[in-house]
């Protein structure tokens, strides 16, 4: 009887530990700590402007399936701040966190003459780039008050960019 109780207690403890471990594995990754990591600008992070409408539609379909938010990055390949922002998102210490939390879609606005309708759909008028929007799978913009805060990505630390994305992502 004592052996049976000990075995039952051991099984319960093992089950709780296993459940706890599984739960820990499913928990969101903490915000990456990249500090002053050197960022390499991405040469051409934006596809052709005409690809954007389908890419945005696909991003929202993926977000609805996975429950992640959509990070819409409006910019252009000629824009140094846009290329640096893309470099932060692609940094090896940041990319896994970004992929876990967001479906990223880059929207090429060319010379402010393409895809402005996509921005307007989310209540944004683009006057400078990059513009980063964090949007729920249902279409609610979580950072409508701060769309240009990453606009000077070249002078921001990678950590400041990541922290801002995390802040916006935690909004409801």
12-46 tens-digit pLDDT? 333 333 333 333 333 457 888 987 778 999 999 99
Count, residues in the chain: 172
73-130 tens-digit pLDDT? 999 999 999 999 999 999 999 999 999 999 999 999 999 999 999 999 999 999 999 9
Between 31 and 136, name the one with better pLDDT. Answer: 136
The separation between CA 103 and the C-alpha centre of its own chain, rounded to angstroms, equals: 6
Per-domain residue ranges of the chain: 49-169
What is the CATH T-level fold of the domain 49-169, as seen in this structure? Glutaredoxin (3.40.30)
Contacts of 90 (CB under 8 A, 6+ apart): 42
């Amino acid at each position: 009887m004592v052996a049976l109780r000990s075995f039952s207690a051991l099984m319960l403890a093992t089950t709780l530990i296993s459940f706890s471990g599984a739960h820990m594995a499913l928990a969101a990754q903490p915000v990456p700590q990249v500090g002053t990591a050197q960022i390499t600008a991405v040469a051409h992070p934006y596809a052709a402007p005409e690809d954007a409408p389908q890419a945005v539609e696909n991003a929202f379909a993926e977000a609805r399936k996975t429950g992640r938010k959509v990070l819409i990055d409006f910019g252009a390949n000629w824009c140094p701040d846009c290329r640096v922002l893309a470099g932060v998102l692609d940094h090896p210490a940041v990319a896994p966190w970004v992929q876990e939390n967001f479906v990223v879609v880059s929207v090429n606005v060319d010379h402010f003459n393409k895809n402005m309708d996509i921005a307007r759909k989310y209540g944004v008028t683009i006057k400078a780039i990059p513009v980063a929007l964090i949007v729920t799978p249902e279409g609610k913009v979580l950072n409508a008050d701060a769309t240009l805060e990453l606009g000077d990505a070249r002078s921001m630390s990678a950590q400041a960019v990541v922290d801002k994305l995390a802040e916006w992502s935690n909004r409801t």
